[in-house]
Amino acid sequence: MNKKRSQFAIVWEFRIRAQKRRPFEEAYRPDGLWGAFFRKGEGYVRTELIQYREHPLRYLTIDVWESRRHYEHFKKQNRSEYLAIDKQCESLTTSEKRVGEFVTVGEPNSLKPRASADEAVLVRTAALEDIPRILAMERDSPSAAHWPELTYRRMFRENQPLRIVLVASQAGEAALLGFVIARVAADDCELENIVVSRKRQNRGVGTQLSQSLATEARKQNARRIFLEVRESNTAARALYEKCGFAITGRRPSYYTDPIEDAILYTLQL
């Protein structure tokens, strides 16, 4: 079950040299040098770069991590690279001050990054070669449905019953960000599994997969998409509700290990 809890934020203030605005922003903006470096770290959430309205040579950065422990661990593990980037950026600023450490208040999702145009997500029909990456994501996701590799292979070889298998990836990159699998039978399309890689969750990929599935299902003449989900799976339920699914039933104690009710959702196409 996903618990909503505070995230850790560290805020820095920079005074930068005149003429250095552009390289400074390139290094410190969310998709800049530091952002790319932090993204390698487990528990990194996002970076914001903000500029004082009245002092164009003064900026704040806000680095958000799931916890202070994630931040400290990352710094410790990547100390030499951290110091090297810091040194590389030294000439851009006249001073740098740690404003302090903070915790977020309220819903952490309000701080989540959204995919921006330069990290466009593409959704396409999956191919046999995608199976190892699909499996790796599925195995890494305890709340996903789990199937043996053979089931995936049969899906591509036989495609009986008819299946829609879509994968999401970042434009120009081979790595997968997520996948969705659904079975179509006459008017019905059953969403059987949807997974987004941990590092890219809560950034709109699931929404894109679900919307693409609706488009594909319509093409196959399905009239509705239905699914069941553990009652405690708040992330998945939020995704389905955001995508227009309505609750249409409950199956008491449907899941085992641990025992839990299934909530049934349906989207009319």
Ligand X SMILES: CC(C)(COP(=O)(O)OP(=O)(O)OC[C@H]1O[C@@H](n2cnc3c(N)ncnc32)[C@H](O)[C@@H]1OP(=O)(O)O)[C@@H](O)C(=O)NCCC(=O)NCCS
CB 107 within 8 A of CB 23: no
Hey, what's the torsion of the CAs at 201, 202, 203, 208, to 10 degrees? 80
By C-beta, is 37 or 254 nearer to ligand X?
254
Residue 59 annotated to the active site = no
Q: Tell me the residue type at 221.
A: N
Q: Which of 44, 71, 228, 265 does the annotation list as catalytic?
A: 228
Q: Which residue is nearest to ligand X (CB)?
A: 206
- Give contact residues for ligand X (rule: CB under 6 A): 2, 109, 141, 143-145, 193-196, 201-207, 229, 233-236, 238-239, 242
By C-beta, is 97 or 139 nearer to ligand X?
139
Which of 264, 257, 235 lies closest to 3, judged by CA? 235
Helices (H) and strands (E) in the chain, counts: 8, 11
Q: Rounded to 5, what percent of the chain is helix, strand, coil?
A: 35, 35, 30
Which of 228, 158, 162, 170 lies closest to 204, judged by CA? 170
By C-beta, is 61 or 206 nearer to ligand X?
206
Task: State the nearest-atom distance from the C-beta of 177 to ligand X, in Å.
Answer: 8
By C-beta, is 16 or 195 nearer to ligand X?
195
Task: State the nearest-atom distance from the C-beta of 176 to ligand X, in Å.
Answer: 12
Task: State the nearest-atom distance from the C-beta of 21 to ligand X, in Å.
Answer: 33
Q: Which of 28, 152, 240, 265 does the annotation list as catalytic?
A: 240
Task: State the nearest-atom distance from the C-beta of 82 to ligand X, in Å.
Answer: 28
The pair phi, psi for residue 31, each rounded to 5°, is -100, 20
How many whole angstroms separate alpha carbon 107 and alpha carbon 45? 14
By C-beta, is 89 or 262 nearer to ligand X?
262
End-to-end Cα spacing for the chain: 29
CB 102 within 8 A of CB 1: no
Q: Is the dihedral of CA 30, 32, 36, 42 positive or negative?
A: negative
Task: State the nearest-atom distance from the C-beta of 4 to ligand X, in Å.
Answer: 7
Residue 82 annotated to the active site = no
User: What are the residue numbers of the active site?
Assistant: 228, 240
